Structure 1
Amino acid sequence: MKRNFKLGLLVLSAVFSGSALAQDLTGTWQSIYDKTGSPKAIIEISQEGNGSYTGKIVKITPRPGYTPQKTCNDCPAPYTNQPILGMEILKGLKHVDGTNNYERGRVIDPLAGKLYNAKVKLNATGKRLTLRAYMGVSTLGRNQTWIRLD
C-alpha cells in the first residue's frame, strides 16, 4: 500500500511538472491571420526582469499578393513611424498562477494603428496559444492563433 502511494505521488509529480513546463510562454511563435488562416509574422516572446512578457516581430512572413507595410504610420506614440520589423507589439503580459493564462497585456496592430488590451491562453502542450485582443470588454474582441516554432 505504501509503495503504491509513493508511485502515485511520483506519477502526479511528473504530470504536474509537465504542465508547469507547458506554461512557459517564451520562445518563437508564428502568428496566423485570423481572417485568412495564413501565416502573418514571427514573434519572439521573452520574459522581462519584472516577470512580465514582451513580444517583438522578428520576421514578416511573405504572403502572395501582399506588400508588407514597412512602418507603423497610423500608430500612437511611441510607435509612430517605427519600423514594424523589430517592433515590440506585445507588452506587459502577466502569468495567472496555477493556469496557462496570461493577462493584463497590451498589443498593437501595426497595420491598423490600434492599441488593444491583450490576454493569452496557452494550450496544455505549450505548442499553441490564443491571443485575445480587445477594447474594454473581452467578449467584444478577436482571437489570433500563434504556433510555437522552437
Structure 2
Amino acid sequence: MIQLTRPLRAIAIAGALLACAAPTFAQADSPIGMWQTIDDNTHQPKALVQIAEDGDGSLTGKVVKGLGANDTPDRRCTACTDERKDQLIKGMTIIKAMKKDGDHWDGGNILDPENGKVYKCKMTLEDGGQKLVVRGYIGVSLLGRSQTWVRQQ
C-alpha cells in the first residue's frame, strides 16, 4: 500500500473534490442538462426537456417526459405543420440550432407542441445556472413571451 505524506494526501483529496465538482461548475455556465418546464396557465410542471450539444456545437432540446395531468406517452403533435406533424411529443426535438452569443444562446428556434408554431428562440441562464429563461418570439424579441425553466439534477 502506498503511504502518502500529509501535504500529498491533502492535495490528492483537494484534487478529487475538484474533479467531482467540475461537472457542477460546467453546468453553471451552460444550459446543457435536464430542465423542467412550467405550464403558463397552471404554473405546474409540464415537461422534462433534455438540452444537449449537437455535432456542430449548437444546442438542441428534446422532450424526455410529459408531466402534465393530461399527458400520455402516445400524445402526438397534431398541430405541427413540419416534419413533426403527428409525431410523438415524447422524444421530439423542440429546440434547434441554438448558438452561444455572449452570455446567452440565440439564433435557433423552439416549437410549441400545443399549437404547432415554431418561434425564434433566445435562452439566458439565471440564478447561478439553476434557471433558464427561454424566450420564444416572432420577428424581434420584444414580440414574444418568456418561460423560466428549472434545472433538474
TM range (shorter): 0.7 to 0.9
Do structure 1's residue 120 and structure 2's residue 120 form an aligned pair? no
1:84 aligns to what?
Answer: 89
How big is the shift at 1:36?
Answer: 2.4
Please list every run of 5 or more consecutive structure 1 residues that lacks an aligned counterpart in the other structure: 1-17
SS at match of 1:125: helix
* Contact map agreement 2:35 2:151 (CA 8 A) in 1: yes
**Maintained 8 Å contact 1:19/1:124:** no
AA of the residue aligned to 2:30? D
Does the aligned pair in 2 maintain the 1:28–1:42 contact within 8 Å? yes
Q: Percent identity?
A: 40
Aligned partner of residue 142 in structure 2, secondary structure: helix
Q: Number of paired residues?
A: 129
Alignment of 1:15-26 (within 5 A): 22-26=28-32
Q: Which amino acid aligns with 1:31?
A: T
Deviation, structure 1 residue 67: 5.0
Q: CA RMSD in A?
A: 1.8
User: Where has structure 1 moved over 4 Å in runs of 4 or more?
Assistant: 18-21
Provide the C-alpha distance between the structure 1 equivalents of 2:151 and 2:25, rounded to a whole number of angstroms. 16
Q: Which has the higher contact order (CA 8 A, sep 6+)?
A: 1
* Cα displacement string for residues 99-133 of structure 1 (whole angstroms, at most 9, x for unaligned residues): 2x110111001111101000001015110001000
